[in-house]
Each structure stands twice: as structure tokens, then as C-alpha cells.
Amino acid sequence: MAESIAYTKSAGREQIYQELAPQIGALIGAEPDLIANLANVAAVLKEAFGFFWVGFYLKKGEQLVLGPFQGPLACTRLSFDQGVCGHAYSTAQTVIVPDVDAFPGHIACSSAARSEIVVPIFDANGEVFAVLDVDSNQLDDFSETDAKGLKAIADIVERSHSRV
């Protein structure tokens, strides 16, 4: 069955996040497979916002390992103490980086990425099991609006994942 997402293309980011959240919830709500759900979430975010790169890194052992994504090739494995993803994972906090070149220890998976936001995703025990990573090819492209909107989507993923 083909799925589609409807949103107001001319709206600002805040409204688009608000329109997408319930639809993402419906899209992944009945599907128990985490990878399928993450793939669809990445596709929806990429389509709706046109971000340069959208994807997930999953905790596997003592590393973050690339999961479903949309965009150019990406780094496959990251240590918990590396880059923006590692920082978001280890602090369990959303991280907004206006200029990735100014972030200590930034990992340049693509030289075209200029700014980044990473949101941790928690399991039922309150432990970070994944991060949602979004890159832009523009400087200072993310704000608290994105942090709030992406956190709402991460919360939907958390609820979906905790059911299985």
C-alpha cells in the first residue's frame, strides 16, 4: 500500500512539523519493525523540508551505527565521543550546531554539510538507543523550532519502539 503525507508546502517549519507529527504517528503506529519506521520517518523529513541529509544512528555495542537515511553517503560508525552525534548521545540532549566547522571534533562525512541538529531517541528504560541526525548545506539553518519539531517526531518513534 502506498503511503502519502500531506502538508502545507508554503507554511513555515513550525506548522509543517505540527502537520507532519500526527501523520508520522499514523504511518509508523501499527508497524512493529523499527528499521522500516526509521526509513519512512527519514523519507518524510527529507521530502517535507528538503534537508541535505536526514538519518538515524543506532547504538550497537559501543558505537553508533548508521541506520536508515536519506541523502548522500554517510559515515558508517561513530564513537560515543565523536562529533555532534556522539555528543548528543553521550549528553542525552539535543544539539544544534550553527556552523559544523566550529564544532570541536566535528566529523565531516560530507564537506557540503554546514549546520546540523541531532536529537537523542530514548528506549522504554530512558536510555538513548538512537539519534536523529539532520544536516543542512546552509549555515545556521536550525533553530529551537526544529529542536521542538524533531523532538516531537523522536517522541513518536520512542512510543512506537517501546511497544515492541
CB burial of residue 145 (10 Å; 0-12, 13-18, 19+):
middle
The verdict on residue 8 lying in a domain is no
Label residue 164 by pLDDT band (50, 70, 90): low
Instruction: Say what the pLDDT of residue 163 is.
Output: 63
The verdict on residue 72 lying in a domain is yes
State the residue range of the domain holding 71.
13-162
Residues of the chain above pLDDT 70, percent: 98
The verdict on residue 102 lying in a domain is yes
pTM value is 0.95
- Interval 116-130 mean pLDDT: 97
Span 130-152, pLDDT tens digits = 999 999 999 999 999 999 999 99
First-to-last alpha carbon distance for the chain, in angstroms, is 22
The verdict on residue 48 lying in a domain is yes
The verdict on residue 5 lying in a domain is no
Label residue 108 by pLDDT band (50, 70, 90): confident
CATH of the domain at 49: 3.30.450.40
- Specify the number of domains making up the chain: 1
Rg of the chain taking only CA atoms, in angstroms: 15
Q: What is the 3-state secondary structure (H, E, C) of 106-123?
A: CCCCCCCCCEEEEEEEEC
User: Count of CB atoms within 10 A of residue 110's CB?
Assistant: 16
Phi, psi dihedrals of residue 60, rounded to the nearest 5°: -135, 110
The verdict on residue 2 lying in a domain is no
The verdict on residue 4 lying in a domain is no
The verdict on residue 131 lying in a domain is yes
Instruction: Say what the pLDDT of residue 1 is.
Output: 39
Do 56 and 37 contact (CB within 8 A), yes or no? no
